[in-house]
Structures are given as C-alpha cells and as structure tokens.
Structure 1
Amino acid sequence: MPRTGSTAGPTLAVVAREAGVSVPTASKVVNGRDDVAPETRRRVTEVLDRLGYVRRRGGPPKPHGMVDLVLASSPGGGAEGAAVVHEVERAAHAEGLEVVVSAGRHLGRDRLDRLAARGTAGVLFHGDAPSAAQRAWLARHRVPYVLVDPWAEPPRGTGWVGAADRGGGRAAVAHLLALGHERIAVLAADAPGRAGAGWLAGWREAVAGAGLPERAAYERRVGAAEPEPCGARLRTLELLALPEPPTAVCVESDAWVPGVYGALAERGLRVPDDMAVVGCGDLPEARWAVPGLTTVRRPVAEMAGAALALLARLASGGAADGLPVELETELVVRSSTAPPGGSSPRAGSAGAGGQR
C-alpha cells in the first residue's frame, strides 16, 4: 500500500532523504505540526513541491511518525520483553516516533494490512523473526524492519541487533576458573537458538581452552516444554547424582536459577559453598535471588535502543551499514560464586576484561 496520499509519486522516505531529515520530521511538516524548526519546515516544503508529493486530503492525517514493535510469541521472554518495550518507547520518543506494540502470534495478513494502512515507518521484531510470507509482504510494501535479540539465526541480509552470548559463556567459565573451579557444568536449552547456542559454545571453548577433561555428563539440556524452574531443577538433581558432581554450574537463563537453588536446597547443599552458580541475563530474578546471583548481563536496553535507531535510519532511506550488530555482555559478580568450599567474595567486585 502506498506510503503517500496517492497511488503515485515519491514516498515520504524519499522526501525525508532529499531534505536531509527523518521520516517523522517530514511527516510533521506534511501534517501541519508546529513542533518543527522554520528552516527545516522550509527545506522539507521545497522538496515536497519539487518532487510533486501529493498530500493526503480529507479524513485524519496519516500517522507516518509511528513504528510497530512485535513482541516474541514464545513463552519465557516476559521480563526481557518488558525491558524491550520500555527502551523502544524511550528511544522512539527521542526520535519523535510513537510505538504500537503487538504480540507476534497475532501478526496475520489482516494485521499487516492494517499496519500499512496507518502508514507505519517500520517494524521491530523482538525474538521471533518474521516468516518468509511476512518478509515478502514487508518487501512488497517497502516497510523496513529490524530484529531485536533474535533467537534463531536471522535470514541473510536481515538487519538485527543482538548480544555477544558466546563471549558471555566464556566470561562465566573464566570467572569460575579464576576462583579455582575445575568441575564446571552447564545448563542449556534443548532447542535451536542463536543466544543459547552462543552461550553453550562459549562454555565449551572456555572449558577446552583451560585444558579441563571433557565431561559429557556435565552438559545438561532443559527441554522447551519443561517449565523453566522445573526443568532446571531436574537437570541439577541429575548433576548432583553423578559420581563426581560439579562444583559449579553455568545456567543459560536467570529464569532457571530458582530451580537450581531449589534442587541444591533439597539435597541440603548451599550456594556458593557447595556449588557456585552463574546465570545469564541479569533479569530481576538475579537481584531477588538469595544469595544474589552472579550473572552475565545481556544488554537488553541497549539492544532495543540500537535497533530502534537502525530502524529510524532505514525508514529515512539510509543504508543498513555494518550489520549485524552484537553488543558486548558483562559479568556482574554477586554472592552466588566462591572458591570450591570457600567463602563468597565481596559482591560487585571487579574482574579483568571489563567485568564488574
């Protein structure tokens, strides 16, 4: 569906590019908004007239200063999804954009058609990438899109912003090695996924790089159908039943940690004296846990902000240079890690390589 007020002529993105402004700014001029600098208004108006842009007449103005955020339809992304919404709305406000939020499972053909009808500037997809049919629709309607923290490997040529999870897995193991641990296990999702694959690969690389013996029994998978804490609890109990159980475990998601803590408590064991625990995400669970969870912080807010900035650039006719973007993770040390059989270090202490 055309993005201007007629079936022919330049799009608003073309006008914005020619005038050297963002699509939302060009939209404000078209719709008679007064929050535009006089010189900017003059420049945009000249381009509108020169290119023959046909303004929409009759009815309410078309909301070109709007983007859509499609949240993941899969379970388990509640806390991260809330952070994504908050940061996208904050970053969009700074760009002069408004945000419409919807669930991925509801994004059918009728919803896509309505999305075009109200003149969205672009779409952010959190977690789930659009299907092949959705990508074809977006291309046909010239609607740019960007992925925020995609779970699966995105299609080639797609713009996306994610976290460097492989480095996060390595940092978790490096922290435990520095404390003196040699029997280090991992809990990872038993499903394909970009973030989980990176976390597991980082753990494997760090363990192998330290020259530790290969222990297949220390690699445990949590099924996608298992409730998050329950699956982690069962895998932790399996680790504890081994003839030589691990002294530390790296957990792919902070949301699983209550299950890990629960399993240890069932066996009369304590964190970190009997087992050190490192999570991933720095979700609220990490701060609520007792003891406080040492975790690898995934920069959710920064990912959302960077993705919105990229989408605004694409909507203005800019190029998707330097893609994809992977933002660095950060180790946050709290009280759930200590030397084997030792006492917990001071929470928040700094380590090498930018850890805190």
Structure 2
Amino acid sequence: MPPNARRTTLADIARAAGVSVATVSKVVNGRGDVAPRTRARVLDLLHEHDYLAPVSRTFEAVERPTIEVQFQGNLKSYVARTLEGIIDSAAEEGASVVVSKASRAPHWARDLVAAGRRAVIAVTSVYTAAHLKELARANLPLVVLDPLHLPDSRVYSVGATNFSGGLAATRHLLSLGHRRVAYLGGPAMAVCNQARMHGYRAAMEAEGAPVPDTYVRPGEFTYETGVLGAAALLDLEEPPTAIFTGNDEIALGVIETARTRGLRIPEDLSVVGFDDTDLAQMASPPLSTVRQPLREMGGAALRTALRLADHDKVESHHIELATELVVRASTAPPGKCAAQGVRSVAR
C-alpha cells in the first residue's frame, strides 16, 4: 500500500457489494449465516481490494479457521500425544492450530478473539465459572479434553471410558490370581481419577476381594506419586501383590521403588498403568496398561471445536471414546514371596 493510501474499510466493501456492513463483518469473521452467492461476492471484493482486517489478521487467516489449544503444566507424553491428534486433524480439516500455555491475563478471551481465534481446546487446563463467563462474553466456544472436573453444562468435552478401563485393568490382575490389589491414582476429586478408581472397586467387589482403606491412595499424575505411593504401600503389614495406577508416569515411579527394594517386576509385584503413552513401551519391563485413544480424542476435540465455531449443532456435550487393555510384561501371577506377604528389608 502506498504511504498515503487510505486503507479499505468494511464500509467500502459493503457499498461495492450492495450489502450491509454487518453482512461483510459476518463474512470476515467466518459466520455461517450469509447466503452463498452474497458470501462469494463479498469474498471476491475483499480479495480485489486487498482488505486487511484490524490486528493484522489477513483474510487468508479467516478462510483457514484458527483454534487455540491451551494446556497447563509441562509438555508431557500424554499432552504431546493428544496434540498430535489435534494437529493432524486440523491439517485434514484445513484449520490452523496455535498451542500455548493457559493464560489468565485480563481480557484474555477477548485478546484471543482479536487475534483471530475461533474456539479454544483445553488440555489438562482448569476453567472456573469466571473463565467460562469471559469466554461466553467473547462468544468463544470451549472444548475440554479429558476434563479433570465435571464440566459446566455450557462446556463441551471429550474423554475416554475411564470406568471401563479401571474395571478391565483390575479384572486382568484378578484373573492372574492376585487378591491384594491396590490403586494408586491422581487427584482425589479429578473426574477421570474417580472413574478409574470406581472401576477398580467394582471389579474387586464383584470378585469378593477386600479393599482396605490403605490400598487406595490418591496423589498427582506424576512419577513422584508413584515413587512415594509405592513406598507407603510396600511398607504395609500386608503389602499388595499388584498395583493398578492412574497413569503410566505413576506406574514408572512404582517400578522404580520396587527396583530399589530388590523386588522384581512382575515376579514379586505386578503393575498396570493407564494411557498407553510412549513411556509404557519404553518401561523395563514393558508396561501393561489401559490404552486411552489419545490421538483420536484430540481429533474429536478439534472437529467439535470447528463445528461450534461454525455454529453447527453438536449432538452431545460429552464424547467418550473406548479404552482398551494392553497386556505386556509387567503383569504375571503372584510370585511365591509376594503371595506370602514377605516385604523387602531394604527401604
């Protein structure tokens, strides 16, 4: 544009197209409630006049919807796998993705809209009523992936069959002959953790296997929870012969504690994880775990976000994809030492 040239405005485009400024604004912002012939005419004029929207958002970016993906904490294997699913699906759908750490700066939702975002996908991020109110004010749809807390009725979410996964993991250990099975999980109030724990309890109850209070321990979805939680479980008068964990990171912590005490996996202690991240296959021995379809969950979240951004109807506020038990080398029938309740002297 020449130095003194006047920037083309929405009003200029509206006059040339013979429509209202509001109609042109709808086309620029990707709204769906514009007649196809009108939209095509406005698009041609926008290109012809090299229209550049405020905040340096080019029209090409409007044609290619952009979704903001936010996460909290470290970029762990679980998050990375879901991001792969989101990014791959975005490429298939002709959308763009911007990945960021969750921000709570003033007017953060309005800033996202100004930057051209059409919807938000939250991975392991917690949104309060105040956050949801700001998103609603900005007319920015939110999709929560694997929510930690029960979502608000205004929130769309994608998860997995956590209860069924917990049930399958525990039934597997019971089928091997274990009766002293413990659950070492994540935050007590996290919805996914509660579902996995209730699946564990349901399997134990159906088998008539006792569940002492000391056998159920909440924590965080971290390696450190596995290390410390396993130490507490193995110090019990009757330590478990098998431990079902809330995720693969916790399971690796359990395996490390067992190693330092001279216990063998799975001869002396069986361990089952949850998620089936890359960590499960790299563990020594390879980890039996419950597979969450993380990539597929990411793809479902992306497609839901795009539908909401286009004001299309979404049939369900919550989508659940099926989990699957993957049996590897970290589980086996209880060994002689473990069956007799012998604890390691080295602590």
Pairwise TM-score range, normalised by the shorter structure: 0.7 to 0.9
- 2:30, 2:255 → 1: CA distance? 56
Q: What is the CA distance between 1:189 and its match in structure 2?
A: 2.1
Please show how residues 62-211 of structure 1 align to structure 2 within 5 Å. 62=59, 63-64=61-62, 65-75=64-74, 78-104=76-102, 106-211=103-208
Where does residue 250 of structure 1 map in the other structure? 244
Contact kept, 8 Å, 1:273 with 1:341, in 2: the verdict is yes
Of residues 32, 47, 50, the one that matches 2:38 is: 47
The one-character-per-residue Cα deviations of 1:52-78 (angstroms, maximum 9, x if unpaired) are 999596436242223233332135x51
1:274 maps to 2:265 = no
- 1:51, 1:66 → 2: CA distance? 18
Please show how residues 26-45 of structure 1 align to structure 2 within 5 Å. 44=36
Please show how residues 181-330 of structure 1 align to structure 2 within 5 Å. 181-222=178-219, 224=220, 228-330=222-324
Q: What is the CA distance between 1:166 and its match in structure 2?
A: 1.1
Where does residue 16 of structure 1 map in the other structure? 32
Where does residue 327 of structure 2 map in the other structure? 333
Contact kept, 8 Å, 2:71 with 2:100, in 1: the verdict is no
List alignment gaps of at least 5 residues for structure 2.
1-8, 12-20, 337-347
TM-score, length-scaled by structure 2: 0.81
Q: What is the CA distance between 1:107 and its match in structure 2?
A: 4.3
- 2:129, 2:330 → 1: CA distance? 43
Give the percent of matched residue pairs that are identical in Structure 1 and Structure 2: 34
The one-character-per-residue Cα deviations of 1:212-256 (angstroms, maximum 9, x if unpaired) are 12311211232x4xx933332222122222222111110111112
- 1:325, 1:190 → 2: CA distance? 22
The one-character-per-residue Cα deviations of 1:120-142 (angstroms, maximum 9, x if unpaired) are 22221112243333322322232
- 2:270, 2:253 → 1: CA distance? 14
Report the more deviating stretch, 321-330 or 120-129: 120-129
Q: What is the CA distance between 1:336 and its match in structure 2?
A: 0.3
Contact kept, 8 Å, 1:232 with 1:259, in 2: the verdict is yes
Larger radius of gyration: 2
Number of aligned residue pairs: 309
- 2:254, 2:327 → 1: CA distance? 18
Contact kept, 8 Å, 1:17 with 1:316, in 2: the verdict is no
TM-score, length-scaled by structure 1: 0.79
The one-character-per-residue Cα deviations of 1:242-287 (angstroms, maximum 9, x if unpaired) are 2221111101111122321122122221011111100111122211
- 1:18, 1:217 → 2: CA distance? 61
Seen in structure 2, the aligned counterparts of structure 1 residues 14 and 93 have a Cα distance that, compared at 3 Å, is closer
Contact kept, 8 Å, 1:236 with 1:263, in 2: the verdict is yes
Secondary structure at the aligned position of 1:122 is classed as: strand
Superposition CA RMSD, Å: 2.7
4+ residue stretches of structure 1 with deviation over 4 A? 4-7, 49-57
Secondary structure at the aligned position of 1:86 is classed as: helix
